[in-house]
Amino acid sequence: MENAAVTTTQATTRLASRQRPLALVAVGAAAAVLLMAPHWLSPSDTTVLVTVGEFGLAVIGLVLLHGQAGQLSLGQSGFMALGAYASAVLTGKAGWPPVAALAVGVLASMAVALIIGIPMLRLRGFYLVLATLGFVLIVTNLAIGLTSVTDGPSGTTVGYFSVGPLAFRTLTSQYYLVLLLLIVSVLACVSFTRSAKGRALKALSRDELSAATMGVPVARYKVGVFIASAALAALAGSLYAHTLNFMSPDTVGPELSIRLVVMNYLGGTASFIGAIVGTLVLEWIPNIAPSLVQYRLLLEGGVLVAILLFLPNGLVPECRALLRRAGHSGARRLRPRGAEPAIGGEQAAWPSALDNSRTTTPDGQRLAAWHMGAAAADPPPPGPLIVVRGLTKSFGGTRALADVSFTVAKGRITSIVGPNGAGKTTLLNVLTGVITPDAGEVVLEGRAITGKPPHAIAALGLSRSFQTPRLYLSGSACENVMMGGFLLGSSSLWSTVTRSPSFRRGEAALCRRAAESLDLVGIADCAEWPAQALPLGLQRRLELARALAAAPTVLLLDEPAAGSNDRERQHLAELLADLRLAGGTVLLVEHNMDLVMSVSDEIVVLDHGVVIAIGTPDEIQRSPRVIEAYLGKAGSVT
């Protein structure tokens, strides 16, 4: 099987090497077409391309906001209106240079996005859509009512855009300006999404709670991407006004917002190239068939319904998937007879993780040199690492925790056990800031962390897994683990967008760390597999690898052995022992008593939110109160 996998990889590599020159030729041909398009096309077609580029900028903002961060907004045309009217009013009535007016429009839109984004982004789904649509209606009505500023429904004229002495009066010059801005925007956004910050957006789009416990400041990132999206829309609106030489409320009203969303879905909600393709397709249809212009809204509604039904991922992702399937078919043709496929298909074998082998042996010295806690040669410092005092939490009339107090020693494995409903997961949620206790406090290395938000607690060194794996299912295993290293891989926005040498070094280091984390939990061969393709047992390992990638001070595990077989539980026990040998600190919530008794240094027993016993595994097994309240009889603990 191993030789077959190697053979398949070699075949895929040969196929990729054959396809690479074709890709370069395709890119070169596309560049030539884009550069020569205004010389080949009629003025009306060039005008359409300019409009496509301007609307494309606004749709790219939607890709960031909706496709990457999972926040659907109908407010793009409102921000386009702010940019457009800033340019119209400041250049036409105040005599400002167009560049200065454009900058003011973009900055004003960003300020408005900040003000309305803080309350609006507390909403989700349909409510957020309605709130942003309300914003568009407010902007449109202000444009109609402020006749002394905007000239009301009759509209106002706008001059050509210029940069100093350079005026963009011809369609060709306008086309190249928009093309340049579009290319820069796409490259900057792609660079952003392929960074720790971009992965943080994907994480919060899938699961805000999971992202917060990885250290992502969810509210700040949601508002930040809303501001970036608004800036792109304002830039698009300003350029659009200068291209039309006219601006009225109807030009950038609610209808345009709906069209932009349809463009986003048509090309692919998460694809920046798709933003341009979707805009091009939807804008070019009336140019091909002018008689359809009067049915434009009906046509766009039909396109949206068709996309949702038949192309849910959009044109560009669906085409990529088709090419990928063709590539896999080519790899199968190149593969010698008898070779097994490396991935996918009913005949595919799971990676070597199933027999619990690792590429290298993660002994304590290797772990100590890599992450978690003090080196194995250093004795743990005196005093507890975590002190829990009097935690109390009730949900209505149900008491989940009642005066819970215990300590977690550094370099030790402390387990929390108890029957279902004992309050174990609630306790982990309080420790990680997901839930605020009614009373009591949690102290980490002498610092009180009670009441801090989850991302702030994660930044202090607490990393956790969940009872049910909360992964970014569409991403690869490696991408999921790199998300866990968010706090280690963040860099400045400028460094991220420009992909500076320091940024590239950080990404390379984080990628190596992700590979090592996957190796530690025994699923290194799954690095490129999508998380959703892994069975539950391997998903749990993947979540553990993600938690380890954060280099935590304390690792909190919520039932990591649930659903595992004997071999997988043995692998987990070995890994926990390695972590302890390396000086790592683990707080384990687990139902499997064999695992708990074999790895724990200390056990805390909960029953209906009350601590009924604390001690070593031997002491817990002999405790009459534990036997009576939880285990039933002495023989149940072994």
What is the 3 state secondary structure string of 507-524?
A: HHHHHHHHHHHHHHCCCH
pLDDT at 19: 54
CB 207 within 8 A of CB 469: no
Residue 218 has pLDDT above 50, yes or no: yes
pLDDT at 31: 81
pLDDT at 320: 82
Sign of CA dihedral 458, 461, 464, 470: positive
What 3-state class would DSSP assign to 393? Answer: strand
Q: How far is residue 429's CA from residue 401's CA, in Å, rounded to a whole number?
A: 11
pLDDT at 379: 52
Query: How confident is the model over 65-111, as pLDDT tens digits?
Result: 999 999 999 999 999 999 999 999 999 889 999 999 999 999 999 99
Residue 589 has pLDDT above 70, yes or no: yes
Mean model confidence pLDDT for the chain: 84
CATH tag for 45-319 (out of 1.10.3470, 1.20.58, 2.60.40, 1.10.10): 1.10.3470
What 3-state class would DSSP assign to 209? Answer: helix
pLDDT at 496: 86
pLDDT at 306: 82
What is the four-CA torsion angle of 309, 315, 320, 321, rounded to 10 degrees?
A: 10
Nearest to residue 220, comparing CAs of 236, 201, 238, 206?
201
Q: How confident is the model at residue 460 (pLDDT cuts 50, 70, 90)?
A: very high
Q: Domain 363-373+383-461+554-638: state its class.
A: alpha beta
Arithmetic mean of pLDDT, 583-609 = 91
Nearest to residue 462, comparing CAs of 505, 432, 504?
432
What's the half-sphere exposure (Cβ side, CA atoms, 13 Å) at 146?
A: 13
pLDDT at 601: 93
Q: What count of other Cβ atoms lies within 10 Å of the Cβ of residue 332? A: 15
pLDDT at 368: 46
Q: How far is residue 284's CA from residue 48's CA, in Å, rounded to a whole number?
A: 7
Fold type of domain 466-551: Rossmann fold (3.40.50)
pLDDT at 184: 95
More confident residue, 170 or 491: 170
Q: Encoding tokens for residue 111?
A: 């300020």
With pLDDT > 70 as the criterion, what percentage of the chain qualifies? Answer: 84
Q: How far is residue 253's CA from residue 240's CA, in Å, rounded to a whole number?
A: 14
Arithmetic mean of pLDDT, 541-567 = 90
Q: Specify the domain boundaries for CATH 1.10.3470 within the chain.
A: 45-319
Nearest to residue 583, comparing CAs of 413, 395, 349?
413
Q: What is the pTM of this model?
A: 0.86
Arithmetic mean of pLDDT, 553-566 = 88
Q: How far is residue 59's CA from residue 283's CA, in Å, rounded to a whole number?
A: 13
Arithmetic mean of pLDDT, 133-148 = 94
Arithmetic mean of pLDDT, 348-355 = 39
pLDDT at 322: 81
Q: How confident is the model at residue 375 (pLDDT cuts 50, 70, 90)?
A: very low
Q: How confident is the model at residue 23 (pLDDT cuts 50, 70, 90)?
A: low
Q: How far is residue 238's CA from residue 98's CA, in Å, rounded to a whole number?
A: 9
Please enumerate in sequence order all residues whose Cβ is within 8 A of that of 56, keeping only pairs 6 or more positions apart, or say none: 182, 236, 275, 276, 279, 280
Q: Which amino acid is at 525?
A: D
Query: How confident is the model over 38-55, as pLDDT tens digits?
Result: 889 889 889 999 999 999
Nearest to residue 482, comparing CAs of 560, 550, 556?
550
More confident residue, 638 or 474: 474
Q: How far is CA 563 from CA 122, 414, 535, 539, 569, in A?
A: 35, 21, 10, 11, 9
Query: How confident is the model over 151-196, as pLDDT tens digits?
Result: 999 889 999 999 988 999 999 999 999 999 999 999 999 999 999 9
Nearest to residue 585, comparing CAs of 563, 574, 600, 571?
600
Query: Which residues of 27-114 form beta strands (DSSP E)?
Result: none
Q: Specify the domain boundaries for CATH 3.40.50.300 within the chain.
A: 363-373+383-461+554-638, 466-551
Arithmetic mean of pLDDT, 329-340 = 45
Which of the residue ranges 351-355, 361-365, 568-572 has the most confident prediction, judged by mean pLDDT? 568-572
Judge residue 280's burial from the number of C-beta atoms within 10 Å of its C-beta, 0-12 exposed, 13-18 middle, 19 or more buried. buried
Query: How confident is the model over 501-512, as pLDDT tens digits?
Result: 888 898 898 999
Strand-strand pairing, 554-558 and 462-464 = parallel
More confident residue, 174 or 492: 174
Q: How far is residue 428's CA from residue 403's CA, in Å, rounded to a whole number?
A: 15
pLDDT at 475: 87
Question: CA angle, corner 333, sides to 331 and 338, nearest 5?
Answer: 100
Over its C-alpha atoms, the chain yields an Rg (Å, rounded) of 29
Query: How confident is the model over 610-637, as pLDDT tens digits?
Result: 999 999 999 988 888 887 765 555 444 4
Strand-strand pairing, 398-409 and 384-395 = antiparallel
Residue 418 has pLDDT above 80, yes or no: yes
More confident residue, 355 or 270: 270
Q: Encoding tokens for residue 191?
A: 């660079």
